[in-house]
Structure 1
Amino acid sequence: MNLLKDSFEFGLHTQINFGIGRLQELPSIIQKYQYKNILICTDPGIANSGALDRLETILKSENISYEVFTEVEPDPTIRVVKKVEQLYQEKNCDAIIGLGGGSSIDTAKGVSIAVANPGDLTQFEGKNQIPNRGPDIIAIPTTAGTGSEVTHATVLKDEDRKYKMGILSEHLHPKVAILDPELLTTLPRGLAAITGMDALSHAIESYTSNQAQPITEALGLHAIELIGKWLRPFAADRTNLEAASNMMLASTIAGSAFIWGRVAAVHALSHPLGGRYNIAHGLANSLLLPVVMEYNLSSNFQKFKNIAALLGESVHDLSDRTAAGKSVKAVNELVTDLEIPKSLKEINIELSEEEIQVVAQEAFDSGIANANPKNVSVKDLISIINTIK
């Protein structure tokens, strides 16, 4: 970016409360904004983990009125959003808490849209299509990965089309995000691994994107450094609060980066793979990230050299080209150490040529890959999918 010629925008619209034990501050936040009846939106895993009980105990101690929905699905769907919206309306709620991973927070965002904007949610697909801001959202993440607690986006599955639909709007920024690392301690190891890789993909894609700008680059670099240092120890022991704290911070920083720096070919492909074949988002990103990085290396050897160094590779006395290649090596080794599958075959998914063509076309048509640092065609996307078969 040439600062003498180019301009950029950056804004973070969510109040962040970070720290061990900060969940206890939820009642004061509710009282500050004068919410009268909160709808808690979460999933069965969180309901069974003890995190929901902890939240309810805090609310009951201050006599705060609330309702609970515990049926959020791993890939949030329009169908579930409409169910939660009905409960919200029936119980006269006035704000929403998204407690959980990206699915719970994205569902809460979908409900906020639906409450204030009647009609089919598919009409709001894309950027800035939502006319009315809905009820406030308090995001309380229990994973370190999606960054949804600070983003202006929600991804909802349209089951009729087997399609993951992105909705982006300034109305979707949560009002407040409570980042309490203690909420990560019951996360299963496998989920900690793939959500951490999701955060890494956000950081790397926003840093290398053709939409990157100085602030998003700085955020992306710091997130990459934190994840390179702390993801392995966090996956090994989720009760390690130092590792949990750093991963939660890295996830939110990476989320802040890709609001404006954007994601690219990794996410363009992971959305249709998830929508059509129910591949967890973080897992799809883990499969795709090193392959897409390899494809993009020549777009900016210096940037990928920087990534390699932050992920612990020695790049001293190496050419920029050779050092850049070490970034791919570092990510592949991280995936190996986290025991994440490296191919679709390992997760029992075999795609025909026709299916690969459909996924690649959907990825291209989504426009997400427009931010890729190296131009990418449908043919290129097909080649990337074939690499992870």
Structure 2
Amino acid sequence: MSFRNFPMVPRVVFGRGCFNQLDEILTPKRNSDKAPFIFIVDDVFKGNDWLISRIPLHHNDKIIYVSAEEEPKTSYVDKYRDDLVAEFDEIPSGIIGIGGGTMLDYAKAIALMLTNPGSSADYQGWDLVKNQGVYHVGIPTISGTGAEVSRTTVLTGPERKLGMNSDYTPFDQVVLDPELTKDVPTNQWFYTGMDCYIHCIESLTGTFLNAFSQSYGEKSLDLCREVYLEKDLRDEDSQDKLMMASWHGGMSIAYSQVGVAHAMSYGLSYLLGTKHGIGNCIVFDQLEEFYPEGVAEFKRMVEKHNIDIPQGLCKDLTDADFDIMIDVSLSLVPLWENALGANWKDTITREKLRSMYEKM
């Protein structure tokens, strides 16, 4: 039997205010004065002096502000790579992502594409990346996606929404500063945190479950329950614990897999541009058949925090639209196999998926 030998993030710093150590962390990694560090920053922070003034810029380092309104696209990754190659005499010393899952995925993908030829769409799949990327650092400013620890960078390409899953994808360094999450709007705090919660439900009930993924998944689930069911305030303790839940949730799925909610939310995202966290919530809200206990608990969390889960996204879609979503969803074979086993196609037919999407 062959066991999966996955890489993990080799260096991580955790603590309130540890973002201030970024200069100390990056300086030894600079290749030359002409090889810049490129900071991929969520444009919501543009003009936010509290954060931006603390980014350590030297020489020809550069901040690129990126909108998180759209999910990351292969065409955008390729353009950022091409622009950087054209602008600088030397390949960047490193790419630093500062933001939510979208920024972290962009940072990972750009770092890989600076050392791998062609389009990022060529690498959507499992273990297609051949060369190690440039040094890359992940700094989450919201908790839940697990992108800071995962071996994938999820991209929407011309034909599919699928990650660049590879041993070269994980960050070389992660900076976990819970203080950076203090201004996240409540709805976004909920949707992104539920990405983590749903990771855990899918991992812990899946056929790929093992002691490694179970130990991380159970801890993450306990932390999510504490934050979303037992606490009334988004205090510092909750910020710390949700950041740890995200890390543990990402570790859990690294050695197992996600399931039905993620497989279907990818279809919504590809066709409608629905953002990942909210897409998972829209789908999971309808999955009592597959995750009865998890969905019941999720609904309690929704009610406690008075969160709006959008309805009726699919009511005006055409047959062709449904076919696109179904094709994207069915292409995610490992997710379905984890959720339902090797014979998952006996349960998940095109007609079944259509009827499920029609509820959303």
TM-score with structure 2 setting the length: 0.88
C-alpha separation between the residues in 2 aligned to 1:6 and 1:44?
44
Q: Deviation per CA, 1:201-249, whole angstroms, max 9, x where unpaired?
A: 1111122221111011111111111111113688x755x2111111111
Of 189, 194, 199, 2:191 maps to 194
- 2:247 is matched with 252
Q: Kindly report which structure 2 residues correspond to 1:110-189, keeping only aligned pairs within 5 A, or say none.
A: 110-158=109-157, 160-161=158-159, 163-189=160-186
C-alpha separation between the residues in 2 aligned to 1:189 and 1:169?
33
C-alpha separation between the residues in 2 aligned to 1:120 and 1:11?
24
Q: Deviation per CA, 1:46-79, whole angstroms, max 9, x where unpaired?
A: 32444641432xx15xx57521110244311123
Output the amino acid matched with 2:330. Answer: F
Deviation at 1:9, TM superposition (A): 5.2
1:12 is the counterpart of 2:11 = no
Of 350, 354, 358, 1:382 maps to 354
1:338 is the counterpart of 2:291 = no
Q: Alpha carbons of 1:53 and 1:372: their partners in 2 closer, same or farther (altered >3 Å)?
A: same
Q: Alpha carbons of 1:31 and 1:6: their partners in 2 closer, same or farther (altered >3 Å)?
A: closer
C-alpha contact (below 8 Å) 2:94/2:136 kept by paired residues: yes
- 2:294 is matched with 327
SS at 1:70 equivalent:
strand
SS at 1:55 equivalent:
coil
C-alpha contact (below 8 Å) 1:145/1:196 kept by paired residues: yes
Of 254, 261, 267, 2:262 maps to 267
Output the amino acid matched with 1:274. Answer: S
SS at 2:62 equivalent:
strand
C-alpha contact (below 8 Å) 2:7/2:167 kept by paired residues: no
- 2:220 is matched with 223
Q: Alpha carbons of 1:208 and 1:6: their partners in 2 closer, same or farther (altered >3 Å)?
A: farther
Q: Alpha carbons of 1:8 and 1:106: their partners in 2 closer, same or farther (altered >3 Å)?
A: closer
Q: Alpha carbons of 1:104 and 1:6: their partners in 2 closer, same or farther (altered >3 Å)?
A: closer
Q: Alpha carbons of 1:47 and 1:369: their partners in 2 closer, same or farther (altered >3 Å)?
A: farther
- 1:33 is matched with 29
SS at 1:170 equivalent:
coil
Output the amino acid matched with 1:362. Answer: V
Q: Kindly report which structure 2 residues correspond to 1:361-376, keeping only aligned pairs within 5 A, or say none.
A: 361-367=327-333, 368-373=335-340, 375=344, 376=347
C-alpha contact (below 8 Å) 1:41/1:72 kept by paired residues: no
C-alpha separation between the residues in 1 aligned to 2:283 and 2:217?
18
Q: Alpha carbons of 1:265 and 1:341: their partners in 2 closer, same or farther (altered >3 Å)?
A: same
C-alpha separation between the residues in 2 aligned to 1:338 and 1:281?
20
The root-mean-square deviation of aligned C-alpha atoms, in Å, is: 2.4
Structure 1 residue runs of 5 or longer lacking an equivalent are 298-324
- 2:324 is matched with 358
TM-score with structure 1 setting the length: 0.82
Q: Alpha carbons of 1:54 and 1:225: their partners in 2 closer, same or farther (altered >3 Å)?
A: farther
- 1:208 is matched with 205
Q: Deviation per CA, 1:66-123, whole angstroms, max 9, x where unpaired?
A: 2111024431112321232134322332100000001111111111121111112211
Equivalent pairs, count: 347
C-alpha separation between the residues in 2 aligned to 1:83 and 1:6?
38
Structure whose residues are more often helix by fraction: 1
C-alpha separation between the residues in 2 aligned to 1:48 and 1:262?
38
C-alpha separation between the residues in 2 aligned to 1:6 and 1:221?
25
Structure 2 residue runs of 5 or longer lacking an equivalent are none
Output the amino acid matched with 1:255. Answer: G
Deviation at 1:153, TM superposition (A): 0.3
Share of identical aligned residues, percent?
A: 22
1:285 is the counterpart of 2:280 = yes
1:296 is the counterpart of 2:263 = no
Q: Alpha carbons of 1:124 and 1:22: their partners in 2 closer, same or farther (altered >3 Å)?
A: same
Q: Alpha carbons of 1:41 and 1:103: their partners in 2 closer, same or farther (altered >3 Å)?
A: same
Deviation at 1:128, TM superposition (A): 0.4
